[in-house]
């Protein structure tokens, strides 16, 4: 299947072909239009990265570079959040951020400028006999056993729900 992947920044050193799993996000470029009494209106651009597994939203500095990858379906995590929930989370996050920057009697009008379903790459590899997973955007490494314990219930990492 073909999917959009966020451009990996980090990759495990010394590992020629690490395995990976793709984690689902929906990225929104939003424009907020605020009306103000007695003052000029304000316009802000906001970039929301909505986690489609845990329904969290992060503010971005821009729309990250996306690459199209051809991957096996089993490498792609299924989203647990639908489009409408993701869109509402992005709007909520944008309004909270915008309201901290401008005083207005009204909620902003919001336009979606650009949007895309995209996946973050998590590299899976082995080093010194230990299985590890690495976040391709921040380079953080986690022991695979600490994410999903041997009993199947322990969970401390980015895939926990």
32 within 8 A of 44, measured Cβ to Cβ: yes
pLDDT at 152: 57
Q: How far apart are the first and last CA of the chain?
A: 26
116 within 8 A of 27, measured Cβ to Cβ: yes
Report d(CA 145, CA 47) in Å as an integer: 34
- Find where tokens 């391709």 sit: 136
- Find where tokens 């995209």 sit: 118
Asked whether residue 156 carries a pLDDT value surpassing 90, the answer given is: no
Asked whether residue 150 carries a pLDDT value surpassing 60, the answer given is: no
Asked whether residue 92 carries a pLDDT value surpassing 70, the answer given is: yes
Considering the entire predicted model, what is its pTM? 0.87
Query: In the structure, what pLDDT confidence band is assigned to residue 147 with cuts at 50, 70 and 90?
Result: confident
Average pLDDT estimate for 20-36:
97
Average pLDDT estimate for 106-114:
97
- Two tokens, residue 56: 């969290």
pLDDT, one tens digit per residue, over 38-67 is 999 999 999 999 999 999 999 999 999 999
pLDDT at 12: 95
């Amino acid at each position: 299947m073909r999917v959009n992947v966020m451009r990996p920044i980090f990759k495990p050193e010394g590992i020629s072909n690490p395995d990976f799993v793709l984690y689902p996000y929906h990225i929104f470029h939003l424009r907020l239009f605020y009306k103000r009494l007695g003052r000029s209106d304000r316009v802000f651009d906001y970039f929301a990265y909505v986690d489609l597994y845990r329904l969290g939203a992060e503010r971005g500095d821009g729309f990250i570079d996306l690459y199209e990858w051809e991957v096996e379906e089993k490498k792609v995590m299924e989203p647990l959040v639908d489009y409408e929930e993701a869109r509402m989370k992005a709007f909520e996050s944008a309004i909270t951020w915008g309201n901290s920057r401008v005083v207005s009697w009204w909620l902003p009008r919001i336009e979606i400028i650009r949007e895309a379903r995209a996946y973050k790459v998590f590299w899976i590899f082995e080093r010194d006999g230990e299985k590890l997973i690495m976040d391709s955007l921040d380079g953080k490494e986690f022991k695979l056993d600490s994410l999903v314990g041997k009993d199947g219930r322990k969970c401390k990492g980015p895939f926990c729900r």
